[in-house]
Structure 1
Amino acid sequence: MNEHPFMLAGAQLSALGSGALWWRDQSLLCVSDLHLGKSERIARRGGGQVPPYDTRDTLTRLGADIALTNARTVICLGDSFDDLAAARALPEEERLWIAQLQAGRRWVWIEGNHDPGPIDLGGTHIAELPIAPLTFRHIAQRKTSGEVSGHYHPKARLSLRGRSISRPAFLYDIDRVILPAYGTYTGGLRSHDAALDTLMRPEAHAILTGAVPTCIPMPR
């Protein structure tokens, strides 16, 4: 499997090259910031037309990770939809696709700032989920331990063979891991941004996503 293992609060986790988090002992797959329906929301708000393939591409990649891991539990860590109207506007084909991914497993929608209300798409919709020794929530909190969150869409830069590469990245230290955005049309926040720099400990690391996940000291 294309993964980089690391420990958090005594739990053995793996950062997958796709941007998903895999907790093998719990058969649990976690993804953050899918932002399904983003192209629909952009068009609805007058932002112009973008190719409306983001939801299908994101669900294709998520389906591949579920098939790879055969996860019994899937946690979507907030901002799964670009807004609640985008969730309601999903075509029937994509709603059925989500139902097929949910079949036979526990599925949890964590509330995000983009999708705080209930979602009528199966699964459970809650503010946060503790599964000892970890807690899954959308936005990181101060003074915490064993926290798994998203929200910031972290990215990190790596110099390789004389060129600079920027990729979505996991950020982790002894207290928390912040997941990269999984959605196709999502942007990113540089790891040296003050919002991330002040959250993460000085010894924090970044795991860059891609064909071979690469772990480096978190760029500041």
Structure 2
Amino acid sequence: MLRASGALWLAAEGALVVADLHLEKGSSYAARGQMLPPYDTRETLKRLAAEVAALAPRMVILLGDTFHDRRSEDRLAADDAQRLRDLAIGRTLVWVVGNHDADGPRALPGETADELSLAGLTLRHEPRGGLSPGEAAGHLHPAAKVRGARGSVRRRCFVTDGERIVLPAFGAYAGGLNVRDAAFAGLFARPPLAGALGSARVHAVGWRSLAAD
């Protein structure tokens, strides 16, 4: 099930999957002199906690780039670190590593994996090049743009051809890459469908209705 939050819910396995939280991205930018409001980690974890409360998963899978850089864990506020620890209470927490956090967490609970097989899916951070049936990945931060008579709308989205799926970035500051970008070329056997995130549901958008930036 595709959630309006951007999470993937595997109900039979009780598994909640989210990709690309990019925690502490704001503090990473601040260290380089680009000042952003320092609330992205808290907002992202608040949204994740709401999904956990709504679904009561037996497993939470963080699908890579959970941290924005390798020092992000050191910059976590104490209460945000506790929110991450709470995710592991009474359930399995799996950190699939990504290109931003290849070492995984050092002082937080949970299992670390390069990829994970579950429910007939291979869960990994970065999509494999070419066709890869049964893959669920993140990394690309897909976004859908739709033009209408009154202008255009751009939303984070899932993108799938029914064989594989790329999840939207879950992080507050993670942004999105248009699914018409060349980075998505060759990943799908047929023109894919976008699942654009709305306030309460996911909206299916056909390939012909999707516009480039």
The reply to whether TM is greater than 0.5 is yes
**Other structure's SS at 2:144 match:** strand
- The 1:23–1:132 alpha-carbon spacing in structure 2 relative to 1, beyond 3 Å, is closer
Contact 2:63/2:123 (CA < 8 Å) preserved in 1?
A: yes
2: CA distance between counterparts of 1:61 and 1:85?
23
Q: Deviations over 1:55-101 (max 9, x none)?
A: 00000000001111111111010000001101222122111111112
Is 1:35 matched up with 2:13? no
SS of the aligned residue for 1:15 comes to coil
Query: What is residue 88 of structure 2 aligned with on the other side?
Result: 102
Q: Which runs of 5+ in 1 are unaligned?
A: 1-13
Q: Distance in 1 between matches of 2:11 and 2:149?
A: 34
Aligned to 2:61, the other structure's residue is in SS state strand
Confirm or deny: 8 A CA contact 2:131 2:187 kept in the other structure: no
Out of 190, 204, 213, the position equivalent to 1:215 is 204
CA distances 1:128-174 after superposition (whole Å, capped 9, x unpaired):
00114111000111332210000000000123563311000000113
Partner of 1:176: 164
Offset, 1:39: 0.9
Pick from 198, 217, 220: which aligns with 2:186?
198
Q: Give the whole-Å Cα distance in 2 for the aligned partners of 1:115 and 1:131.
A: 22
Deviation at 1:201, TM superposition (A): 3.0
CA distance in 1, matches of 2:78, 2:180: 41
Which residue, 113, 130, 139 being the options, matches 1:126? 113
Q: Which amino acid in 1 is paired with 2:173?
A: Y
Q: How many residues align?
A: 206
Query: Helix, strand or coil: the match of 1:59?
Result: helix
Identity of aligned residues (%): 38
CA distance in structure 2 between the aligned counterparts of 1:32 and 1:111, rounded to whole angstroms: 10
Q: Match of 1:135?
A: 122
Q: Distance in 2 between matches of 1:160 and 1:63?
A: 35
Question: Equivalents in 2 of 1:106, 1:202: separation in Å?
Answer: 35
User: Is 2:140 the partner of 1:144?
Assistant: no
Deviation, 1:47, is: 3.3
Residue 179 of structure 1 aligns with an amino acid whose one-letter code is: L
* Partner residue, 2:66: 80
| Alpha-carbon distance in 2 for matches of 1:90, 1:40 | 9
Structure 2: how far apart are the matches of 1:74 and 1:129? 12
1:117 aligns with 2:106: no
Q: Aligned partner of 2:139: which letter?
A: H
Q: d(CA) in 2 for partners of 1:20 and 1:34?
A: 11
Instruction: Could you tell me which runs of 5 or more consecutive residues in structure 2 were left unpaired when the two chains were aligned.
Output: none
Offset at residue 197 of structure 1 (A) = 2.9
1-structure distance, mates of 2:83, 2:26:
18
2:41 to 55, 80, 86: 55
2:155 paired residue number? 167
Q: In structure 2, what is the equivalent of residue 92 of structure 1? A: 78
> Is the Cα contact below 8 Å between 2:60 and 2:87 reproduced in 1?
no
When the two chains are superposed, the root-mean-square deviation of aligned CA atoms in Å is: 1.4
